[in-house]
Amino acid sequence: MIKAVRGTRDLLPPDTALWNFVEAAVREVFRAYNFQEIRTPIFEETALFARGVGEDTDIVAKEMYTWEDRSRAASEKGQSLTLRPEATAGIVRAYIENKMWDRGLNKLYLIGPMFRRERPQKGRYRQFYQIDAEVIGPASAGSDSPARDAEILEMLATLLDRLGITDWNLELNSVGCPNDRAKFNEALRQALEPVKDKMCADCQRRAVTNPLRVFDCKVPEDQPIIEKLPRISQFLDEPCRKHFEAVKEILRAVGVDFRENDRLVRGLDYYTRTAFEFTHGALGAQNAILGGGRYDGLSEALGGPAAPGIGFAIGEDRLVMSLKETAEGVLRNPEVYVAPMAAMNVEAARLARELRRHDLVVELGDDAFRLKKSFEAATRVGAKYILIVGENEVKAGAFALKNLATGEQIAVARAELAEAIRSGRV
């Protein structure tokens, strides 16, 4: 039997209703903050991610699905392509390619699948979904302002509240600007020199190529060493420190709780200044429900003009997982099951059509079913009522409507059926 590839999965009903519920709430909340949707391709040139996300990151070094294109056109032949592991690099590419600086400040969001060859486990998949949002534009449009950072974080708090998710923590840090990081990396290199041989193979490599990435290490034995390393907070210059203070001041003023965590450096190289993650208690090891931060130099690194930006990506799979406990009331079962008696499929189809026009969720049975089977089917789909459609009922213009939970039954005139079902008075 052919099965779904390891790390991929089918999303089935009724769970898909939760996904739709989340996406509808996202679109509504984002709309209130004037974000608009962007859709970019699912694959891009490999170089985009290598340059954007960074060669030394786990994502680029180990996790990308990359292949050589077999196009016949000489110009494309052998081109290295990659399934997008994240959305930010593609959105910034689109910003540059479409000269979107002409629009001033761009507030964009994207919902879609991402691909990383990670070891699958609870909350970690090889095809997973992100809800990504980015604010990007020329500095003259205010894209570098701490007000943008705070607005995004406040929007996320609003969204999670709206979804009924209360058990979250916002971890906040500033990773400074490239100058601060150069000094920090140098200090890390020195601090790691005497101890790196005791660390895992990845950290030994990171200590040489990109010491900051040591903070991505999950190996338990390495943690006591990492705990004693210098922190980025000691290396922030005055403008970065002020920027960070301004973000925190607004957050306090609008009542968004956060916890400062100067170990948080995030697993992608493009970050500058504000970096953050929201974690959720019920998720276990993969507890980061979303992550993001500022990337003031990314556009230039990709060959574009200066364009400060900030954004985040929510792991939609994880968001839906954390929602399950609070998800009651999201699912809409059929309000009514229309059960045709023998040779009544035509009449039943007519009636179902009338009821659906009144925006009711209607499940339609089959006249080959005996009454008992219709009741069983109605119960299985979770219908609230069953409506019996027999010859006598059609002639009389009145139908038996039965509440499946209470067993109560009344006769209702055709014209009043929709209202009777909606009002729930039976």
Please give the residue ranges that form the binding site for ligand HAM (CB under 6 A): 86-88, 116, 118, 124-125, 128, 130, 132, 134, 267-268, 288-293, 295, 311-313, 315, 317-318
Q: Which is nearer to ligand HAM, 9 or 356 (CB)?
A: 9
Q: In degrees to the nearest 10, what's the CA dihedral of 300, 309, 83, 99?
A: -60
Q: Which residues pair with 363 in a beta bridge?
A: 337
Determine contact, residues 403/426, Cβ cutoff 8 Å: yes
CB of 243 to ligand HAM, least distance (A): 16
Closest C-alpha to 296, from 185, 187, 150, 148: 148
Q: Which is nearer to ligand HAM, 64 or 420 (CB)?
A: 64
CB of 318 to ligand HAM, least distance (A): 5
CB of 124 to ligand HAM, least distance (A): 4
Q: Which is nearer to ligand HAM, 22 or 313 (CB)?
A: 313
Token pair recorded at residue 160: 């999670």
E strands, 179-318, are: 259-260, 272-280, 288-294, 309-315
Q: Which is nearer to ligand HAM, 165 or 313 (CB)?
A: 313
Determine contact, residues 130/116, Cβ cutoff 8 Å: no
- Rounded Cα gap, residues 280 and 258, in angstroms: 13
Chain-centre distance for alpha carbon 349: 39
Q: Which is nearer to ligand HAM, 318 or 384 (CB)?
A: 318
CB of 74 to ligand HAM, least distance (A): 34
- Rounded Cα gap, residues 306 and 96, in angstroms: 10
Q: Which is nearer to ligand HAM, 121 or 234 (CB)?
A: 121
Distances (CA, A) of 130 to 5, 88, 111, 113, 298: 19, 11, 6, 6, 20
CB of 397 to ligand HAM, least distance (A): 55
CB of 288 to ligand HAM, least distance (A): 4
CB of 133 to ligand HAM, least distance (A): 7
Q: Which is nearer to ligand HAM, 96 or 313 (CB)?
A: 313
Closest C-alpha to 256, from 132, 167, 158: 158
